[in-house]
Structure formats: structure tokens, C-alpha cells
């Protein structure tokens, strides 16, 4: 087995989205190429209601998947089909927008800690216009693999004889929430053709500090280790989609013509028809 090498570091930066929600944009448009098949990664983390109470009012999506992972607090989801539910601490919503979804994501609280991530995962052309769908996963459904010096919550993918509850389809995406104590290490098998990104959001590894995303290339295992402090880490891996990306706001397609069609469909009330 060969160990992957850290080849690039991306620093999170303050931003805002929705109705004035303060976020950390870990990676966006400029990183789509290096993250493939992932498109965007945002973190929301605040104890101040004013930072998030505006939420994310009704908005559309087409052509990709959104993955919402709540660590603390809760968000209420509503969509044009009448689906409604709460994503609470430890829960995951894996939404396939496909042809189109119009939905809102609003906080269930006015103050206190709200902490979570939203990840965008691309869809291949053959799946971009499929019907919208959801996979709702509660914290109890997510297996926890105990490690020597830590633990790993397995949302998607395989590790330690366990399989995550999410079926990620053709992208074969893995999504892991890794906790390591000080002076601990872990090796995670990965497919050699997959892209691998690592986000440290608490503490530090020997190569990355909190708020840094690392891109790891070449190899069939990922080795992570801590020093004097522990770390909390997201590990993401997936099969790249070797197709053009056309991106405009909440739409991710393959050509500019398809983006223009999505805008027309939304303006004419046909996005979700």
C-alpha cells in the first residue's frame, strides 16, 4: 500500500449566505476542480442567534446533491413537494436535487450553538435531471468505529468492517467524521482513483490546522496523525466526474445552455414541473 501525499492547502474564509447567515466558506467555485466530485463546503458555527437566525429562505437547486450534517443545534427543512423535517444534532440529510428542488432551511432556535456543514456533491450528466430524492439519517443510524486514540463516525463509505448508511451512487462518495486524541494516528484505506480531501475543524493534525482543507493525492491509504493536541476532522473521498462543469448560483450543469435553461425553467415555474 502507498500513502497519500498532501499537495495543496485551502484556508477557510469568512463569508455569508442565505439571509445574512455568517459562514466559513471552506471551498467554493475556485476549488471545484481540485475537489471533484465535490463542489462546495461550508461551515456554520456560532452561539449568537444574530449570526444565523435569518436562515436560508426558499431557494432552488438543480443538477447536484446537498449534504447537510448537523453537529449542534437544529435546522428545519421544507420543500415544494410538502416534505418537512428537522435535522438535529448528529443527523444528516442527503438531498438529491436532480431536475429541481425549491426548499428552505431555517434554524429551529434563536440563540445558542448552531454548528454544521453543508457539502455539495456533483451528479454526472446522466443523473442531473432525475427526480428529486432524500436520504434522511439520524445520529443513531450512523455507525461509530472505535480507534486506538479516537473514533470515526461513518456517514458514507466503508471502514473497519462497517458501512455507512448512505448510498452515494455512482460517485462512490465517502464521508467520515474523525476524532483523534493528542499523539494519535489512523490509516484509512481509499481507492487509488478517488479524490480525497480532509478538513480539520478543531485542533490540528501534523499537517493541517483548524480551518484548513488539505488535498491528498496518489495512493491507496490516507495517514493522519496528531501531535500535542487532538483534532476533529472531516474526511471526504469520491470518484471524479470527468465532465465539464457549468455553475451559476444554485444550479450546476454541464453547459452554459443548460444553465440558461434552468434559469428559464425557474423563472417560468417549470423547474420542478
The pLDDT tens digits for 162-219 are 999 998 888 999 999 999 999 999 999 999 999 999 999 999 999 999 999 999 999 9
The pTM for the full model equals: 0.95
pLDDT at 165: 96
pLDDT at 31 over 80: no
CB contact at 8 A, 179 and 203: no
Residue 71: count other Cβ atoms within 10 Å of its Cβ. Answer: 19
The set of cell numbers assigned to 174 is 465517502
pLDDT at 1: 80
Q: Can you name the CATH fold of 5-267?
A: Jelly Rolls (2.60.120)
C-alpha to C-alpha distance for 272 and 129, rounded to whole angstroms: 10
Give me the phi and psi of 4, to 5 degrees please.
Answer: -65, 150
In the chain, what are the domain boundaries? Answer: 5-267
Question: Among 16-30, 101-115, 206-220, 256-270, which is the least confidently predicted range?
Answer: 16-30
pLDDT at 32: 82
Amino acid at each position: 500500500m502507498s500513502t497519500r501525499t498532501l499537495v495543496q492547502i485551502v484556508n477557510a474564509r469568512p463569508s455569508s449566505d442565505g439571509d445574512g447567515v455568517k459562514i466559513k466558506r471552506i471551498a467554493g467555485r475556485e476549488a471545484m476542480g481540485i475537489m471533484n466530485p465535490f463542489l462546495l463546503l461550508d461551515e456554520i458555527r456560532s452561539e449568537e442567534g444574530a449570526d444565523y437566525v435569518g436562515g436560508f429562505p426558499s431557494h432552488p437547486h438543480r443538477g447536484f446533491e446537498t449534504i447537510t450534517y448537523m453537529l449542534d443545534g437544529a435546522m428545519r427543512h421544507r420543500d415544494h413537494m410538502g416534505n418537512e423535517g428537522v435535522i438535529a444534532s448528529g443527523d444528516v440529510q442527503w438531498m438529491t436535487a436532480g431536475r429541481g428542488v425549491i426548499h428552505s432551511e431555517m434554524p429551529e432556535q434563536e440563540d445558542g450553538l448552531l454548528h454544521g456543514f453543508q457539502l455539495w456533491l456533483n451528479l454526472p450528466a446522466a443523473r442531473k435531471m432525475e427526480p428529486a430524492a432524500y436520504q434522511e439519517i439520524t445520529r443513531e443510524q450512523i455507525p461509530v468505529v472505535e480507534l486506538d486514540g479516537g473514533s470515526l463516525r461513518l456517514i458514507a463509505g466503508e471502514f473497519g468492517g462497517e458501512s455507512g448508511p448512505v448510498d452515494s451512487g455512482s460517485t462512490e462518495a465517502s464521508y467520515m467524521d474523525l476524532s483523534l486524541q493528542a499523539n494519535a494516528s489512523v490509516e484509512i484505506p481509499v481507492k487509488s482513483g478517488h479524490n480525497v480531501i480532509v478538513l480539520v475543524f478543531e485542533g490540528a493534525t501534523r499537517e493541517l490546522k483548524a480551518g484548513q482543507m488539505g488535498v491528498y493525492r496518489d495512493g491507496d491509504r490516507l495517514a493522519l496523525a496528531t501531535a500535542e493536541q487532538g483534532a476533529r476532522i472531516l474526511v471526504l473521498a469520491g470518484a471524479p466526474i470527468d465532465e465539464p462543469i457549468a455553475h451559476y448560483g444554485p444550479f450546476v450543469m454541464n453547459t452554459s445552455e443548460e444553465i440558461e435553461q434552468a434559469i428559464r425553467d425557474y423563472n417560468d415555474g417549470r423547474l420542478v414541473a
